[in-house]
Amino acid sequence: MPTDPTLLPILLVPDLRLRAKARPVGQGDADAVRALAPRMLASMYKAPGIGLAAPQVGELLRLVVVDLQPEDKPAPLVLVNPEIVAASTELATREEGCLSLPGQYADVTRPARVKLRYLDLEGAKREIEAEGLLATCLQHEVDHLNGVLFVDHISALKRNMLLRKLAKELKARGWE
């Protein structure tokens, strides 16, 4: 458990909340989302990671934070109700990991480029086109909003090996 009250505990597989579909953020959620986003960013930076979705901290809201830290400077993106509106037919394979599956990595093939629509924290409509690591990260985080984990994109054999390895490591750390 984090000792810093601003940090949020990140859920680990097999927590069932990671498999739930998050609900859209509505008008009545504005204050909660504005309070949650900086805490999610702080938790993501501390982990350390480059993306975090609200379901990973137990909030079933369609909210994602991402920061690839180009040039080693913070450049946080907060995406409310993100949706992929276009994806390239060209594919790219990258190694992915996840804060909810610590220490586990696998090559995942996804569209090489995507376009997302989302709202910023002020409620303004935005669009972002991404490729490379950002495209992968955005797709990975949007998957979380739909209860999908990166291991769902790999073969059953690789997935089972990864999940067994994770369970063994967590048990060795006393995290049952």
pLDDT digit string (tens) for 74-132? 999 999 999 999 999 999 999 999 999 999 999 999 999 999 999 999 999 999 999 99
88 close to 113: Cβ distance less than 8 angstroms: yes
Catalytic (active site) residue 141: yes
Confidence grade of residue 71 (pLDDT, cut at 50, 70, 90): confident
Q: What share of the chain is helix, strand, coil (3-state, %, to 5)?
A: 40, 30, 30
Q: Which domains does the chain have, with CATH numbers?
A: 16-172 (3.90.45.10)
* Residue 1 in this model has a pLDDT that exceeds 50: no
**Residue 124 φ then ψ, to 5°:** -80, 140
State yes or no: pLDDT of 70 exceeds 90. Answer: no
Over residues 139-176, the pLDDT tens digits come to 999 999 999 999 999 999 999 999 999 999 988 887 65
- Mean pLDDT to the nearest integer, 36-60: 97
Judged against a pLDDT cut of 80, whether residue 5 lies above it is answered with: no
pLDDT of residue 3: 60
Mean of the per-residue pLDDT values for the chain? Answer: 95
pTM of the model: 0.94
Catalytic pick from 127, 141, 169, 176?
A: 141
User: What is the Cα–Cα distance from 37 to 43, expressed in whole angstroms?
Assistant: 10
Q: Is 163 exposed, middle or buried (0-12, 13-18, 19+ CB in 10 A)?
A: middle
> Residue 152: its pLDDT value, please?
97
Percent of the chain with pLDDT over 70: 97
pLDDT bucket at 72, cuts 50 / 70 / 90? confident
